[in-house]
Amino acid sequence: MLGPEDLGGNGAEPHPLVEVRDKVVASYQDKAALLKRDWTDEMFQEGEEINEARVAEIEAALVGGLGSDGRGSTLADGRNLGSALDLVGAYMKNYMLDKADAVLARCGPHVSDRGGVWMIKWLNHTSTVRMKQGRYSEALEMLYELEIYSPYNAEEAPEFYETLYRNLGWALKSLGRVDEAAVYFERMAQVAQTHKGQLDWFDCWDIGKLLVMLAYRDGNMERFYRARGMVEDSLRMHAEAEPEDLVMRAKVLDSLAECFLVTKEYPSAEAHYNEAYKLLLETVGRNSPLFGKQARHSANVLIDQERHAEALPFLGEALVVEAAKDAAKVHELLDLVDLIVQTQQKCGTDAIEDLPPNHAALRSLQKNLRARGMDTSKEYAILCHKMSLMYLHEHKLDPGHLKRAVKLAKKSVELLEAHPEDSTTAEWLKMGKMHLQLLIPAWRQLQGESARKQ
């Protein structure tokens, strides 16, 4: 191998050929760093504890790489930057969205300095995180930027455009803009067929879900059943193509279950939901947002059949996850807690006494929202009122629940009084004060009984 001394260099300045060689090597290293997705491509379906331990190993590997040359390497080094973006992929698969967001923010300035395809990868990662956080409008803007500023066209980079069009379709669909989503899914299908020759299970799944939604919305049941068949085909195709990917199989099963639920074909819906529930329990564990969502879906099919007592344990599992997750939202938690309260009311106190209490989840919920500065809104005030009702319904499980119910009821009234009054606020404030007035005597009576026993 030639060295600088073989090329006539005197050691003071490198020979031009050495400079060219170094630039070529650096270019290949930079491209390898950009394309690195070793950690992103891991499946993370060995159960919660093993998945978390594996993420910790990956974090340690990145930290070790940052200091491996003894010079305090930073994210300005392409290899470290590529590894950091690869770590974001692992975080996203495990729904560690706060960590993913933090790493992307740290990477942002270094990605901006490099520009080009580095910026495209960063935007793609960031838009995906925003999607998982439920920030669909922000994700959509980033995806539009990707579409506009990509240095490639669909013929030059068909796989990139297939993913881009798919993500644009997802974002628009999540925002309720279904007809616009259909345009991008059609573009996705065209690109996919061009470079793959035919649609694969992923394409059939996405397109089938969209066609089901459009057909049901339009009341065209003949088209609905054909589209549902497409989702069924995608499940079969996935099992044949990627039998080891149990997490994705659970997602497809969930979609198919929903197709049966809307037509009230309960045995099929319940069977598919239950299978998805078991797969996610085994692969990602009870604290994953994927599992929490699945638990709620398992509850939905039972509630639709008026089997309220059977639904409550699933709703409790969903609450544990939603209360502690990174992308917590007050309105989503309010919707879930309200559903739990309604379900408790329908099945009666006797059924509640035999179920696990929700105190730990409610405490986690309040701590999570408080840490994020999300505990001062009118919506949070209404959430406090609903949590107070939950504690009231469960007070026979723990005498301390009445005290907690009173505390939350007071907090609800206090927050509602602090907000400008409109018709909605006035109604909730009226209900909150009435609820508090009924709670306080019951709590004092319980205190008196406890004192007499002592």
In this prediction, residue 3 carries a pLDDT of 47
> What phi and psi values does residue 18 have, to the nearest 5 degrees?
-65, -40
pLDDT exceeds cutoff 60 at 70: no
| The Cα angle at residue 206 between residues 212 and 93, in degrees rounded to 5 | 130
Q: Which two tokens stand for residue 444?
A: 């004092």
In whole angstroms, give the CA distance from residue 42 to residue 45: 9
Cβ atoms of residues 288 and 328 within 8 Å: no
pLDDT tens digits, one per residue of 113-132: 998 889 989 999 999 999 99
Q: Which two tokens stand for residue 310?
A: 């059977």
In whole angstroms, give the CA distance from residue 365 to residue 440: 24
CA distance readout (Å), 164 to 144, 184, 232: 9, 9, 25
**If you write DSSP's letter for every residue of 104-172 in order, what string do you get?**
HHHHHHHHHHH-HHHHHHHHHHHHHHHHHTT-HHHHHHHHHHHHHH-SS-TTT-HHHHHHHHHHHHHHH
The per-residue pLDDT of the chain, averaged, comes to: 90
218: left (phi over 0), alpha (psi -120 to 50) or beta: alpha
In whole angstroms, give the CA distance from residue 375 to residue 94: 26
Q: Which two tokens stand for residue 61?
A: 């590997």
419: left (phi over 0), alpha (psi -120 to 50) or beta: beta
- Amino acid identity of 396? K
In this prediction, residue 164 carries a pLDDT of 95
pLDDT > 90: what percent of the chain?
76
| The Cα angle at residue 92 between residues 86 and 97, in degrees rounded to 5 | 115
Please tell me the pTM assigned to this model: 0.88
Cβ atoms of residues 160 and 152 within 8 Å: yes
Q: Which two tokens stand for residue 89?
A: 């992929």
Cβ atoms of residues 285 and 317 within 8 Å: no
199: left (phi over 0), alpha (psi -120 to 50) or beta: beta
In this prediction, residue 448 carries a pLDDT of 64
In this prediction, residue 27 carries a pLDDT of 52
Cβ atoms of residues 78 and 33 within 8 Å: yes
pLDDT band at 67 (very low <50, low <70, confident <90, very high): low
CA distance readout (Å), 130 to 115, 134, 143, 241, 281: 21, 6, 11, 29, 25
Place of tokens 């179920």: 355
pLDDT exceeds cutoff 90 at 288: yes
pLDDT tens digits, one per residue of 243-260: 999 999 999 999 999 999
Cβ atoms of residues 169 and 181 within 8 Å: yes
In whole angstroms, give the CA distance from residue 151 to residue 420: 50
In whole angstroms, give the CA distance from residue 189 to residue 328: 34
pLDDT exceeds cutoff 60 at 8: no
In this prediction, residue 11 carries a pLDDT of 54
Angle separating helix axes 97-114 and 78-93, nearest 10 degrees: 150
Residues 345-374 have a mean pLDDT of: 91
In whole angstroms, give the CA distance from residue 184 to residue 145: 15
pLDDT tens digits, one per residue of 394-416: 988 888 899 999 999 999 999 99
Residues 328-354 have a mean pLDDT of: 91
Cβ atoms of residues 202 and 233 within 8 Å: no
In this prediction, residue 22 carries a pLDDT of 47
In this prediction, residue 1 carries a pLDDT of 43
| 328-345 as b/e: b if 16+ CB within 10 A | bbbeebbebbbbbbebbe
CA distance readout (Å), 222 to 79, 89, 218, 252, 435: 53, 40, 11, 22, 49
In this prediction, residue 14 carries a pLDDT of 64
